[in-house]
Amino acid sequence: MSKLGNIGARLHRGEISYDFIGHRKLWYGISILITITAIVGLAVRGLNMGIDFQGGAVFTTGKHMSVSVSQAQETAEEAAGHEALVQKLGDGSLRIQIAGMDTKQSDSVKETLAEDFKVNPESIAADLVGPSWGEQIANKAWQGLAIFMVLVVIYLAIAFEWRMAIAALIALIHDITITVGIYALVGFEVTPGTVIGLLTILGYSLYDTVVVFDSLKEQTKDLTKQSRFTYSDVANRSINSTLVRSINTTVVALLPVAGLLFIGGGFLGAGTLNDISLSLFVGLAAGAYSSIFIATPLVADLKELEPQMKALRKRVLAKRAQADAEEENAAARGYDRQGDADGYDGDDDPDDAAAAVVGPRSRSASRSRGRGRPSGKRR
């Protein structure tokens, strides 16, 4: 842990860094590949919409049922004539969801379930959900998402600049697309809890992005007045300086969500937690990724298109080329001086050169006479 802390401190001070901006084409390619996979999964498999969105009936049995989930599902599907979703709750009761049912069909299925489960029909609660209510929920969710996006773009354009607002918007769309695509691929049910999770991750996604943007804004003040760094250089330094902070906040946020998803939903079988925990888990991870590998590199690409930044890049590259040439000349002069000191200038015979390097250099008698005298003069 101390080594990780030391690395984080060195990243923050700029002593070490990783070239995120220089490898941005790789990150873009990975993101495009993941996004295409998510879109294909969404188009082929589609979303498993919950009963709240497509309407139907929900049956809840009494506590401590001895009937297994598979047996209850088989009974419910035979009674309803189509697919049913059965979940075992923490108190031992069963929650059975059957889509596309009216009141008459619901009463018939309820009696069949009570007969097969050998319980009183009154102990099974039946709730009907109309499809119009689910449609209202979906419309409100889309409206809330659209309003959120507009407000985010306006705020970032005012607080930072429009290029950062565009980059943040693209990163948000990237995160939502990946999350929805994974829901389609794994087949988890989409419920109002899923919508809440999707809207929640937008804030987490923006948090890391705004942290990097704030550092970038601070470090690019009066950037065009110098000739040492380009905008991409400063953007890369901003990512590195906030990298450990972004990782720490993401890991801390992911740990409890992972507990809900893998332990609560997977190990303990509390399936009602899956709808919101999966959206939070995938969204948090995608948001941390996009803030580092998508949003900031996009800002750098957009800024480098400005005439001022193009001129700055030209000056910086010219200065670096001049510095490299001077360094090469200095190294060449140093090599020549070393060659003269060894008695070899590169044009002599190789055997003579080897003798000059290996053997001791002979001194003339006249130069040796003054050795050992204070003045070193000959008498």
What is the tens place of the pLDDT at every residue in 271-330?
Answer: 557 778 888 888 889 888 998 999 999 999 999 999 999 999 999 999 888 888 888 888
**283 in the same domain as 176:** yes
CATH code at 69? 3.30.70.3400
- For residue 188, give the 3-state DSSP assignment: coil
Mark which of 84, 109, 129 sits at the end of a domain: 129
**158 in the same domain as 11:** yes
Domain span at residue 177 reads 2-49+133-304
pLDDT at 82: 75
Which has the closest alpha carbon to 347: 357, 355, 338, 339? 339
**297 in the same domain as 159:** yes
Q: From CA 305, how far away is CA 296, in angstroms rounded?
A: 15
- For residue 40, give the 3-state DSSP assignment: helix
In a domain, 10, yes or no: yes
CATH code at 266? 1.20.1640.10
Mark which of 84, 103, 129 sits at the end of a domain: 129
pLDDT at 6: 66
pLDDT at 198: 84
**274 in the same domain as 233:** yes
In a domain, 152, yes or no: yes
Q: From CA 10, how far away is CA 244, in angstroms rounded?
A: 10
In a domain, 97, yes or no: yes
**137 in the same domain as 123:** no
Q: From CA 16, how far away is CA 40, in angstroms rounded?
A: 40
In a domain, 8, yes or no: yes
Task: Show the low-confidence residues of the chain (pLDDT under 50).
Answer: 344-379
> How many distinct structural domains can be found in the chain?
2
**124 in the same domain as 161:** no
In a domain, 335, yes or no: no
Those residues with Cβ within 8 angstroms of residue 228's Cβ, 6 or more apart along the chain or in another chain: 316, 319
**258 in the same domain as 151:** yes
Mark which of 304, 323, 342 sits at the end of a domain: 304
pLDDT at 362: 40
